[in-house]
Amino acid sequence: MTSKPLFRVLQPAAGTDAEAETVIQIWFNDQSFSVPGGRSVAAALLAAGVRRFRATPVSGAPRAPYCMMGACFECLVEIDGMPSRQSCMVTVQDGMRIHSQEGARDLPPLSDLDPSQASTENAHGR
């Protein structure tokens, strides 16, 4: 198996808007990165050298973006406290706090549910 990245950053053509893009600061797993703005979170993290975005719920195998168009869900991360965000579909913003998603995300506790919908079922519907 290769560990060579499947993506590489293309250099903007001289005189284009991309050449003048701003650099913003984000955090991934509490590590600071300076990345170009105006692209997806996945593209920004890949350009910063991040190669592991999440771990699978069953085996814990590492995963990273694959399709970059919202189809494969391999790019799931937690963004500003919200789990299971498709990083390829979210535009990176200055100050974003991103964490890798380890296994399955938790369901909300029953205490967070609307009391009018409370029943004897737990949050898993059992």
Residue 5, class by beta-carbon neighbours within 10 Å (0-12 exposed, 13-18 middle, 19+ buried)?
exposed
CA-based radius of gyration for the chain: 18
For ligand FES, give the closer residue by CB, 24 or 72. Answer: 72
> Of 41, 46, 75, 77, which lies in the binding site for ligand FES, with binding defined by CB under 6 A?
75
> Taking CB under 6 A as the rule, does residue 50 contact ligand FES?
no
Q: How far apart are CB 74 and ligand FES at their closest, in Å?
A: 5
> Taking CB under 6 A as the rule, does residue 101 contact ligand FES?
no
CA 33 to CA 41: how far, in whole Å?
A: 12
CA 41 to CA 39: how far, in whole Å?
A: 7
**24-43 positions binding ligand FES, by CB under 6 A:** 42
Residue 55, class by beta-carbon neighbours within 10 Å (0-12 exposed, 13-18 middle, 19+ buried)?
middle
> Of 56, 63, 66, 85, which lies in the binding site for ligand FES, with binding defined by CB under 6 A?
66
- The site for ligand FES, by CB under 6 A, has a size of 13
Q: Which residues bind ligand FES (CB under 6 A)?
A: 42, 65-68, 70-75, 86, 88
